[in-house]
Amino acid sequence: MITPQVKSAFKTYWKHLRFKLSARDSFIFLFYYRFFYSPKEGCLPDFLSQYSLSKKTDFYVIQVGANDGITNDPIHKFIKRDRWKGVLLEPQPEVFRESLSKIYKNHPGLTPICAAIGYNDGSQKLYKIGFSTMRWATGLASFSEEKIKSLFDEGIVQKNCEKNGLEIPSDPDQQITSEEVKVISPETLIKTYSIHQIDLLQIDAEGFDLEVVKMFDVKKTKPNAIIFENENLNPHDLEECYRLLISENYSLREFGRDTLAVKKELVQFAHFFN
């Protein structure tokens, strides 16, 4: 029987290999996605692929919560394949330093930033799983300590520990830790990096997705497309987010845990919402 430790070791090996191939812009990696990769018709990757290829000029993305830049990242392959430009934000210094900054080091026009998005420039306390730097753990970081505590109470942390052969420390101070991280407002971000268009606003904010949509003031910044996680929003916040986007002339569709919002003016993609 294959133990959780063996499974974890294999996943770690594959993750590191894929990361190296991408960071080096390996011919094998890029060749596969340019000439062999074909997403299932009608799925979210299919939209991203068609949308990216439809652009006659540069494709600009803002990604909030980029983490390591590749694991469970729906846009990584398209950033690499089609040489997207824009800004990727990840507030956790270690994740940024060891992963995100490295995987895009050879990608002109794309700027990884060690920061979170916020209404105002400054800093804020970020809470995280204190005993692991594995991707599942760093992906759960949140500005809400209560959110992190709920992950323990609901057994989500325990489940991931069992999968990866880890034990939860008995000391609560080791279970949850925090650090001050840099915060940048959308206004400063757009001005500093001379962002004149947002083809895609990609959000992974662990339950703060509605707030991020509000921060970007879509009526003013006019992202052509927005993708955010719906599963961590409570029903009231999700309904509010949908109402806001519909009022700004977006078509909406859920793809599992993700919601896609696209400006209705992009009529060539209307078939994704039929």
What tens digit of pLDDT does each residue of 212-240 get?
Answer: 999 999 999 999 999 999 998 999 999 99
- pTM score, whole prediction: 0.93
Strand partners for 60: 85
Mean pLDDT computed over 65-77? 95
Mean pLDDT of the chain: 94
The angle formed by the CA atoms of residues 240, 45 and 254, to the nearest 5 degrees, is 25
Q: Which range of residues forms the domain containing residue 101?
A: 4-120+188-273
Q: Are 207 and 257 in contact (CB under 8 A)?
A: no
Residue 148 resides in a domain? no
Position 12 scores a pLDDT of 81
Residue 225 resides in a domain? yes
Coil, helix or strand for 227? strand
Q: Are 241 and 210 in contact (CB under 8 A)?
A: yes
Is residue 165 scored above 90 in pLDDT?
Answer: no
Residue 266 resides in a domain? yes
Residue 180 resides in a domain? no
Mean pLDDT computed over 190-218? 95
Give the CB-side neighbour count of residue 258, counting CA atoms within 13 A: 20
Number of structural domains, the chain?
1
Residue 163 resides in a domain? no
Residue 105 resides in a domain? yes
Residue 129 resides in a domain? no
Residue 165 resides in a domain? no
Domain containing residue 47: CATH number? 3.40.50.150
The tokens describing 82, both together, are 């089609």
Position 4 scores a pLDDT of 64
pLDDT, tens only, 25-53: 999 999 999 999 999 999 999 999 999 99
Percent pLDDT > 70 in the chain is: 98
Position 1 scores a pLDDT of 67
Q: Are 75 and 183 in contact (CB under 8 A)?
A: no
